[in-house]
Amino acid sequence: MWVAPPLKGGSNKIMGSDALIYSVLIYGLVNGAVIMLTSLGFSLTFGLSGVANLAHGGIYLLSGCLAWILLNTLGLPFLPAAVITMVLAGLLGAGVYWLVLQRVRGLALSEMIVTFTIGIGILEFLRWAGFVTYDFNLPVIIKGSLTIAGVIVDYQRLLVIGVGVLIAVLLWFFSHHTKIGLALRGMAQDEYTALSVGIDSDWAAALSMALGHMIVAMAAIMILPLGLISINVGYDVLTMVLAVTILGGLESTAGLTLASLILGYATAATGMYLNPQWTQVVYLAAIVLVLALRPSGLLGKFKELEERV
């Protein structure tokens, strides 16, 4: 994973084993929050409208590049740049829905093909446009760091944890306790019934796409400062979302949180003890293990849903 902590596998000779354990504990939490924040947008769109937005990685990176352009080329201050990026990402989501997805709505296979190709198109466009060098990085929001139990953690990572938890709670509240959220969830469960009680299906799906994209943009602005902007990040994001969804199930927020934490600690541990390169192997192993042992995911919610179909 690209949010590798500042110490690598070789450093365990310098550090005591206690410090190593503490750093795994803390960075596992950080990684978990990063993973959760990145996957939330995907999970939200899927949960609310049933659209598997495979353009996720593309949007993630596009938001990062957009923010970079706003900050560096146009010289805007951070906050307006972040807000504009999120709004643009949201509009893009709604636009993609109205222009393309609406026409293939209900054809699950076509929906996936379309979002997938849009994502690849965006990523490869960015590669072509030259966002591959090491010049591109976003500024951190708060500089500085603090030391917890002998482990140095910078404020940005703490902020990621905070924002991740905050958004997860807000989304849960939104989808379970507000009128719009309930309407959207009803939509995802039974489109015809929802239509018959006066929920506009297209409006709801476009809204869920826009919301999902805005959260992705926010995640990009929060997380990208921890590393470099590179095209591979866009592909890695989707792999990560895949691992999280397979581990935790597509629909449940609790499953997502749990899976993020597990993967966070697993990647932190491999990053510390082995080599950051191995984190992708961890994802693969997690996917294969879960599919082989417990295909319904850890919390096993979707199996029930499938049975009822």
Partner 1 sequence: MDSGPILRAVDLCKDFGGIRAVDRVSFELQKGETLGIIGPNGSGKSTLINLITGFVKPSGGRIFYQGRDITGIAPHKAVMLGMARSFQMPRPFYNMPAYKNLVIPLFSPRTRRLKGGRYGDRDEVAIHLLEDMGFERDSNVPYQPAGVLPHGYVKRLELARCLALEPDLVILDELFSGMSMSEVAGVLPLIERIADEGKTLIMVEHRLRELFRVVDRVIVLNFGRKIAEGAPDVVMANPEVKESYLGSEVEFSA
Partner 2 sequence: MNEAGYRRERLDRGIKVRTDDIFALSSYREILYLTLPRLAAIAALLVFPLLKGVTGIYWQNVVLTACTIALLALSWDLLHSVGLVSLGQAIFFGAGAYATGFFSQHFGWPPLVTIPLATAVGAIFCTVLLYPVLRLRGIYFALITFAMPLLLTRVIEATKILGGNVGMSGLPPLSDTPLDLYLIITVMLICVFGFRRLFDTDYGLVLKAIRENDRSVMAAGFDLQWYRTQAVFIAAIPGAFAGAFLTHYYQFAGLPAFSIEYSILPLASAIVGGPGSFSGVALGAFMLVPLSEALRSFGNLRVVIYSIVVVVFIVILPEGVFNYLQRKYYQIERLVPMEEGGNGQRANIAGS
CA angle in degrees (0–180, nearest 5) for 152-83-199? 115
Q: What number of chain residues touch partner 2 (CB under 8 A)?
A: 46
Q: Please, which residue, 146 or 288, has the CB nearer to partner 2?
A: 288
Residue 307 interface partner, choices partner 2, partner 1, none, CB cut-off 5-8 Å depending on type: partner 1
Using the rule CB under 8 A, is 287 a contact of partner 2?
Answer: yes
**How is the chain classified by DSSP, letter by letter?**
--S--S--GGGGGTS-HHHHHHHHHHHHHHHHHHHHHHHHHHHHHHHHH----TTHHHHHHHHHHHHHIIIIIS---HHHHHHHHHHHHHHHHHHHHHHTGGGGTT-HHHHHHHHHHHHHHHHHHHHHHTTTSTT--PPPSS--EEEETTEEEEHHHHHHHHHHHHHHHHHHHHHHHSHHHHHHHHHHH-HHHHHHTT--HHHHHHHHHHHHHHHHHHHHHHHGGGS---HHHHHHHHHHHHHHHHHH-SS-HHHHHHHHHHHHHHHHHHHHHT-GGGHHHHHHHHHHHHHHH-TT-SS-HHHHHHHH-
Q: Does 104 bind partner 2 (CB under 8 A)?
A: yes
Angle at CA of residue 307, ends 305 and 309, nearest 5°: 75
Task: Rank residues 8 and 176 by Cβ distance to partner 1 and give the closer one.
Answer: 176
Nearest Cα neighbor of 132 from 220, 236, 226, 61 is 61
When binding is defined by CB under 8 A, the residue of 125, 150, 169, 178 that contacts partner 2 is 125
Contact pick of 40, 188, 238, 272 for partner 2 (by CB under 8 A): 238
Q: How far is the CB of 117 from partner 1 (least distance, A)?
A: 25
Among 14, 79, 109, 197, binds partner 2 (CB under 8 A): 109
Residue 273 interacts with partner 2 (CB under 8 A)?
A: no
User: With binding defined as CB under 8 A, does residue 131 bind partner 2?
Assistant: no
Q: Which does 239 bind (CB under 5 to 8 A by kind): partner 1, partner 2, none?
A: partner 2
Torsion angle in degrees (nearest 10) through CA of 54, 60, 62, 63:
140
Residue 263 binds partner 2, judged by CB under 8 A: no
Nearer to partner 1, 130 or 307 (CB): 307
Cβ-based nearer residue to partner 2, 188 or 222: 188
> Of 35 and 250, which CB lies nearer to partner 2 in the complex structure?
250
Residues numbered 62 to 101 that lie near partner 2 (CB under 8 A) are 99-100
Q: Quick one: what does residue 275 bind among partner 1, partner 2, none, with the CB cut-off 5 to 8 Å set by partner type? A: partner 2
Do residues 59 and 216 make contact, with C-beta atoms less than 8 angstroms apart? yes
Cross-strand pairs, 152: 147
Determine if 189 is a binding residue for partner 2 (CB under 8 A).
no
Which residues of this chain interact with partner 1, rule CB under 8 A? 304, 307-308
Measured from the CB of residue 154, what is the shortest distance to partner 2 in angstroms? 26
Q: Which does 109 bind (CB under 5 to 8 A by kind): partner 1, partner 2, none?
A: partner 2
Under the rule (CB under 8 A), what is the footprint of partner 2?
A: 52, 54, 99-100, 103-104, 108-110, 112-114, 116-118, 120-121, 124-125, 127-128, 235-236, 238-239, 241-243, 245-246, 250, 275, 277-278, 280-281, 283-284, 287-288, 291-292, 295, 302, 306, 309
